[in-house]
Chains A and B, each alone.
Chain A
Amino acid sequence: MQIQFTINGKSQSVDVDGKTPLLWVVRDVLNLKGTKFGCGKAACGACTLHVDGEAVRSCSYPIKFAEGKKITTIEGLGEGDNLHSVQQAWKEEIVPQCGYCQPGFMMATAALLEKIPNPTDEDIDNNIVNICRCATYYRMRKAIHRAAEINGAT
């Protein structure tokens, strides 16, 4: 089926089986590889992106539901070459190790900061529930607070 949506500010149309997970359309049809495959069951969060501003685990989101929606991936989080404050904070705190899960965490964090501009540690614990096997959580927490600071929310 034909599905029309906006991705990273650009209008896009794809012709795929409506049950295809959004993740695979993003990665293999549109060739945006920053959104990762981890588990295929919405259990790890590596595939997190934004649909109309909400953090969504795209491995379990059929593409047919994306019709008419605005999708943002890690590639579209910043503006052009300017990094988003979350990416900037991630860089300042030197968060990534292997780096594979990090786009999902940054997308989840960006969505959190839209709702809670200056999250407490408890807000972070309750809302950032992706999995990082390198276990970079300690630096991630610092980076989330730093991003809030960059945004002027503190």
Chain B
Amino acid sequence: MAEEIKTRKKGIRRRKFLKYSGVGLGLMIGGVYLTRHMWRRAIFEGAETMLPPYGGETGQPMIWFQVTPDNKIKLLSPKVEMGQGTFTSLAQMAADELEVDMDRIEVVHADTDSGNIDPMSTGGSLSVAGLWQPLREMAATLREMLKTKAAEKLGVAVSALSLANGVITGGGKSMTYGEVVEGVTDWEIPDVPPLKDRKDHKYIGKPIPRIDLHDKVVGAPIFGMDASMPGMLYGSVVRSRLIDTDMSNFDVSEAEKMPGVVKVVKSDGFVGVVAKSFTEADNARRKIKFDYNIKKDWNLSDIEEAIKVGNGRKAVIQKEGEAVEDIDGEGEVLEMEFRSPIGAHAQIEPNGALAHYEDGKVTLMLSTQVVGITRNEVADALGIDAEDVNVIPTYLGGGFGRRLHTPNAIQAAIMSKEVGKPVKCFFDRKQEFQNDTFRPPTHHIMRGKLSPEGKIVGLEHNFASGDTMFNSAILPVSSGTLENMLSADIGSIRGGAIMYRGIENHRATYYHVDLPFATSFWRSLGLLANAFAIESFIDELAIKAGKNPVDFRLDHLLDDGAYGTRIRNVVKACAEKSGYTDKPSGDRAMGFAASIDAGSPCAHAVEVSIVDNEIKVHKVVAAFDCGIAVNPDQVRAQVEGCICMGISASLFEKMDLKDNKLYPTIYGPYQMALMKDSPKEIETILIEGADVPLPVGEPPLGPIGAAIGNAVRRLTGKRLTELPMKLT
């Protein structure tokens, strides 16, 4: 049996690898490197619309579900809940196939011991989209397994059974699912049965209130920061305040004498204090002395100089027709530059982990987006088997891409081993800001040619940025290999391609620049800045052409029954619902923009005024096509959140760098949108332009920056080309 399972698993893995290669993220096919430009571009274009399949176990329902004697069903989620509402959508999907009411289903995070491990991450807006097929298949398969066992136990044929909310009835007798599973140790896994039709869904597509709502309004201890274990101590680790710097000559003598200190741990790669309370650990850590050895001096101007179109490694991600300068015929050529700054994640729950090392095994509780990877990294660091590390994920106090790197888990585990007790160790706010894995800054040069009739005949997006994905541990092959093959960072190019395929000549070229500090995933990756540049420029071209910007966009979007049509539909719906006009009215003007990310197009129309020389966003109308909205209320919540977070990033947020020090290091000076900056009106129109759920959590961040800038342009005549946008 064990042998059989093993073989089967191998088979699954192989199939997955092949599927994976097909969508262009696993990039070696038969050992042949994809070096030709046209192949590369096919991959880049595929990355824009095709979704990588779920990479975890999808063959065994029993590791996904636990049916308990009280007839409840526990769904062990391999994806984490960081606010996206995933748990609720997963429960809806499971309830429909299992034919039970929602309240029978409890969703919990799968710990790694359960075996239901996502080998990659929770990210890329792929939780619901990625689990749509496998989860419903597992639930439907489980339902059939329960029916088969119930038929045996009741002594009737499977075909004679009927189901109603977790009760199986047949031959005049009934059994609950809980009773069916009692005493059963041997399950036969049948072929996946047909899944239910959309019209038979009772929960999918309904705005069910979030299942974690009660816990979150009563302040239940559900987050990593809230985790505790008996006898737990607190850790605090020294982290660099300067970039491109080594620390050496640690003197811990004073720290060791501080009240509450249990031990100062000097390990490979870090020095940390373990004490009886957070404040004692924190106070003692501040007494540790060390030297900084600065490798190279850095100021913000050096970064701005480095991030420039033309620098770094070039990758052509889109090349249709001629370059703008080579296009024959009459017309006017326009060029504009745009910039975006270094962005911080600034999630409110700091990173941290609670670890307990005992008898060669480690138990970890933490907020993380990389559950499986954390297990492997901790095992490697401690020289133990991955099976001897159990990662218990908790709810996340915000993710946004900040929890895709978890060195803190390793540090907590090592400190626990050193003191023989559970240790909880987390960043303080200053450490969060100084050791973030930032959104890289960008530089864009847009170039376009307008025909005398006011049509765009050529459009180019040339842009430079730092790492997003290639800095990450979650890639299937080493980033160096990927870089050699692609020259581009697939994350930084999100939203970077020209979606106006009706323009005869269109090109996008990316310049990948190395930076002296960590940059990585920040909700929507390159989309925020790329859509800002492209959609601001399109608006400028519309003005130059004397066209209404909505009609102008439609003129250049292909009505191809697929990609182009779906973008056209959100553009039209948004324009209509918002009553978009390019003429300012009173002290207000409207701005319009659209983008497509990970296959989900979104359009925003905003109403803006200037109050005390500051940009104020009053109203936003969004039209969004994410295919099937499993939970329309939570899709709307994500759209609203993206809009307000996008306003924050577009109008306020910016990290600075002076003498190797990244700052600000506290909220306030790191200005973010508050209640007063949030629009008082948000309307969201959902369009179901695909027969599967598509990514939700990031695509609506795309248009907001440009929509605001375009409104300001209509109101003041001034084109703002830098994020965060300021009127000065």
Contacts and interface: CB of A to CB of B under 8 A. Distances in A.
Whether A associates with B in a native complex is yes
Interface of A: 17, 20-21, 24, 28, 31, 33-41, 43-44, 46, 73-75, 78, 83, 87, 90-91, 94-103, 106, 121, 124-126, 128-141
Contacts of B676: 125-126, 129
Contacts of B396: 98
Contact of A33 (B226, B399, B668): B226
Given A41-B666, A100-B223, 17 more contacts: A24-B277, A24-B278, A74-B219, A75-B219, A83-B218, A99-B215, A99-B222, A100-B348, A102-B217, A131-B672, A135-B647, A135-B648, A135-B678, A136-B640, A136-B644, A138-B678, A138-B682
Contacts of A126: 676
A83 B214 CA distance: 10
Nearest to B276: A28
Contact of B213 (A24, A39, A91, A134): A91
Given A33-B226, A137-B675, A139-B640, A94 B633 contact: yes
Contacts, number: 169
A136 B216 contact: no
Contacts of A36: 223, 225, 348-349, 397
27 contacts: A17-B279, A20-B279, A33-B225, A34-B220, A36-B223, A36-B225, A41-B666, A43-B667, A83-B218, A91-B217, A96-B217, A98-B347, A98-B395, A98-B396, A98-B397, A99-B83, A99-B216, A101-B348, A102-B216, A102-B217, A121-B680, A131-B348, A135-B645, A136-B644, A137-B678, A138-B679, A138-B682
A106 B349 contact: no
A135 B647 CA distance: 10
B interface, over-half SS: loop
A83 B217 contact: yes
Contacts of B220: 34
B670 to A, nearest CB: 9
A35 B682 CA distance: 30
Interface string B435-465: 0000000000000000000000000000000
B398 interface: yes
A129 B213 CA distance: 23
Contact of A94 (B210, B395, B667): B210
B22 interface: no
Given A36-B225, A36-B349, A133-B348, A124 B675 contact: yes
Interface in B45-100: 82-85
A83 B219 CA distance: 12
A101 to B, nearest CB: 5
B656 interface: no
Of A103, A121, A124, A132, most buried by chain B (CB within 10 Å of CB) is A132
A140 B259 CA distance: 42
B400 interface: yes
A146 B216 CA distance: 18
Interface in B208-246: 209-210, 212-223, 225-226, 228
Nearest to B668: A43
A24 B647 CA distance: 33
Interface in B342-396: 345-350, 395-396
A129 B217 contact: no
A17 B215 CA distance: 32
Of A36, A96, A138, most buried by chain B (CB within 10 Å of CB) is A138
A34 B640 contact: no
Given A129-B675, A135-B645, A33 B279 contact: no
Given A35-B219, A46-B348, A74-B219, A133 B400 contact: yes
Contacts of A20: 277, 279
B673 interface: yes
Contacts of B346: 133
A35 B428 CA distance: 16
Contact of A34 (B82, B212, B218, B668): B218
A34 B348 contact: no
B674 interface: yes
8 nearest A-B residue pairs (beta carbon): A34-B219, A100-B397, A98-B83, A135-B644, A97-B83, A99-B216, A137-B678, A74-B219
Nearest to B432: A39
Of B345, B348, B647, B677, most buried by chain A (CB within 10 Å of CB) is B348
A129 B677 CA distance: 10
A25 to B, nearest CB: 10
A130 B93 CA distance: 35
B218 A100 contact: no
A132 B523 CA distance: 15
B616 to A, nearest CB: 11
A37 B225 contact: yes
B641 interface: yes
A22 B543 CA distance: 57
A138 B219 contact: no
Contacts of A129: 674-676
A102 B398 CA distance: 12
A134 B395 contact: no
B637 interface: yes
A38 B349 contact: yes
B429 interface: yes
Contact of B680 (A38, A99, A141): A141
B214 A131 contact: no
Nearest to B670: A43
B607 to A, nearest CB: 14
Nearest to A32: B219
Contacts of B221: 33-34
Nearest to B638: A97
Contacts of B647: 135
Contacts of B214: 91
B675 A125 contact: yes
Contacts of A75: 218-219
B197 to A, nearest CB: 28
Given A21-B279, A36-B397, A134-B398, A106 B213 contact: no
Nearest to A41: B666
B226 A97 contact: no
Of B220, B279, B647, B675, most buried by chain A (CB within 10 Å of CB) is B675
A91 B586 CA distance: 38
Contacts of B228: 31
Interface string B397-438: 111100000000000000000000000000011000000000
Contacts of B682: 138
B508 to A, nearest CB: 29
A103 B221 CA distance: 11
A87 B82 CA distance: 20
Contact of B666 (A43, A106, A136): A43
Interface string B13-25: 0000000000000
Given A28-B278, A36-B225, A100-B348, A94 B209 contact: yes
Nearest to B349: A100
Contacts of A140: 675
Contacts of A37: 225, 350
Given A20-B279, A100-B223, A141 B216 contact: no
Contacts of B668: 43
B570 to A, nearest CB: 20
Given A21-B279, A39-B429, A74-B218, A98 B672 contact: no
A125 B674 CA distance: 8
Contacts of A135: 640-641, 643-645, 647-648, 673, 678
B88 to A, nearest CB: 10
A91 B217 CA distance: 7
A124 to B, nearest CB: 6
A46 B223 CA distance: 13
Nearest to B213: A91
Contact of B637 (A31, A38, A136): A136
